[in-house]
Amino acid sequence: MYGTIHISEEEYGQFAELLKNEDPEKLAEFEDRIQRGEKIEPDDWMPQLYRRQVLRMIEQHAHSEIIGALPEGTWITRAPGFRRKMALMAKVQDEIGHAQLLYSAAETLGKTREEMINDLLAGKSKYSNVFNYPAKTWADVALIGFLVDAGAIINQVTNAKGSYGPYVRALERICYEEAFHLKQGHDAFVALATGTPAQRAMIQDALNRWWQPLMHFFGPPDNISTHTKLLTRWKVKMATNDEMRQWYLDQYVPKIWELGLTLPDPALRKDPETGKWEYSDPDWDEFFRVINGDGPLNKERLAVRRWAEEHGRWIRQALQKPERSYVTPFA
Ligand code: BYC
């Protein structure tokens, strides 16, 4: 299923207008390289549209990592116990590290990190929908570590087989760390699900609130997704949004049900004949509202990043002025 092309030649032809300024020979050679499974590297020839699309995706992913550190980050001081606190601190630190890797990969396409951060702070760039919801209880943190990271792994393991060299190398490294995140999330999740009645109620409440954002996480259905067709052809996305959503349901719904927890969708079931999951369509109007800046916490999330940007400016400026470096008196 990885790397299936979902665009017909006729549909691809509709992009002709956007590709009309490209050298046809170079474009054909680029397409051949993609089909042979070769990696595209920063100095290689690529159509401008490929450059823009890959940059858009990596940049949004990088922003998702730094904004994604916020809901869990606020729980470091309140984590229940020393071991949970240490694991959570390590995880949050990893997420920031992922952003570093991804901003570096995005920079290879010609946009500076400063420009990317400015676009994020100005509300011009998107980041993952899920991080615009509050982590009200410790159960929310357990759920993020288990079920958001599980979604991230499905997406990233898939796209790590894609065509843009710097992105896939960053994803490979990120996936190793996500595997640890998933374990810490699963451990905290199971502890609550098998705990006292109050703990079970807390994790059930978290599931009820987070299920819809989790269904949104893989993006809009294929029939309304803007970029999937072109990006599967160019092997930037190695599966469609609906395919990834199906794989996620297949792997994680049984794990949730095994714990005696329920999901807030009475229509959710696997059709034994087709092997496909059926579910109620999540509210896609809400999804588009949230990703366009009008979710429960979009303004708060960006306000925290603005604060961090302002308060960290002095150190970035200091690092950019090597002529002012200090000479040790013992030299
Ligand atoms: N949230 O044409 P479509 C993490 C936008 S961080 C927000 O299907 P595409 C973690 C999409 O951008 C991991 N926006 O898009 C971190 C497009 O808008 P524009 C996050 C979304 O790109 C810390 C429009 O909807 N993972 O796990 O073909 C702690 C139409 O959609 C979303 C990534 O970033 C969304 N969920 O496919 C814990 C993975 N979905 O740009 C955990 C990289 C769609 O036209 N990204 N949109 O204005 C991708 O794989 C793809 O971008 C997506 C969407 C599959 C998400």
* Residue 327: predicted pLDDT: 56
Residue 69: which of 305, 273, 264, 270 has the closest Cα? 305
Q: Taking CB atoms and a 6 Å cutoff, what residues make up the pocket around ligand 1?
A: 56-57, 60-61, 64-65, 68-69, 95, 126, 128-129, 144, 148-149, 152, 155, 159, 216-220, 225-228, 231, 237, 241, 291
Burial of 320 (0-12, 13-18, 19+ CB in 10 A): exposed
Nearest Cα residue to atom 5 of ligand 1: 219
pLDDT tens profile 300-330: 999 999 999 999 999 988 988 766 555 555 5
Rounded average pLDDT over 180-205: 98
For 133-159, the pLDDT digits (tens) are: 999 999 999 999 999 999 999 999 999
Percent of the chain with pLDDT over 90: 89
Give the pTM. 0.95
Q: What is the pLDDT of residues 41-75, one digit of tens each?
A: 999 999 999 999 999 999 999 999 999 999 999 99
Going from the Cα of 302 to the center of ligand 1, the distance in angstroms, rounded, reads: 17
**Distance, CA 22 to ligand 1 centroid (Å)?**
27
Q: Whose CA is nearest to atom 39 of ligand 1?
A: 61
How many of the other CB atoms lie within 10 Å of CB of 76? Answer: 16
User: Is residue 183 in some structural domain?
Assistant: yes
Query: Which tens digits make up the pLDDT trace of 213-246?
Result: 999 999 999 999 999 999 999 999 999 999 999 9
CA pseudo-torsion sign 145, 180, 109, 119: positive
- In the reported structure, the alpha carbon of residue 267 is separated from the centroid of ligand 1 by a whole-number distance in angstroms of 25
Atom 33, ligand 1: residue with shortest CA distance: 61
pLDDT surpassing 80 at residue 3: no
CATH number at residue 38: 1.20.1260.10
Structural domain contains residue 50: yes
Rounded distance between C-alpha atoms, residue 211 and residue 51, angstroms: 34
- Nearest C-alpha to atom 34 of ligand 1 is from which residue? 61
pLDDT at 322: 66
For residues 209 and 213, give the distance between their C-alpha atoms in angstroms, rounded to a whole number: 8
Residue closest to 241 by CA, chosen among 219, 224, 214? 219
Residue 28 lies in a domain: no
In a domain, 282, yes or no: yes
Whether the pLDDT of residue 299 is over 90: the answer is: yes
CA of 193 to the centre of ligand 1 (A): 29
Domain containing 172 equals 33-310
**CB-based contact 186:207 (threshold 8 Å):** no
Alpha carbon of 60 to ligand 1 centroid (Å): 7
Is 60 within the bounds of a domain? Answer: yes
- pLDDT value at position 11? 83
Task: Find the mean pLDDT for residues 87-103.
Answer: 98
Is residue 267 within 8 Å of residue 170, measured between CB atoms?
no
Averaged pLDDT of the chain: 95
> Given CA atoms 3, 101, 140, 126 in this order, what sign does their dihedral have?
negative
Give a yes or no: residue 26 inside a domain.
Answer: no
Rounded CA separation 125/230 (Å): 20
Indicate the number of domains in the chain: 1
Whether residue 190 lies inside any domain: the answer is yes
Confidence class for position 293, pLDDT limits 50, 70, 90: very high
Higher pLDDT, 233 or 3: 233
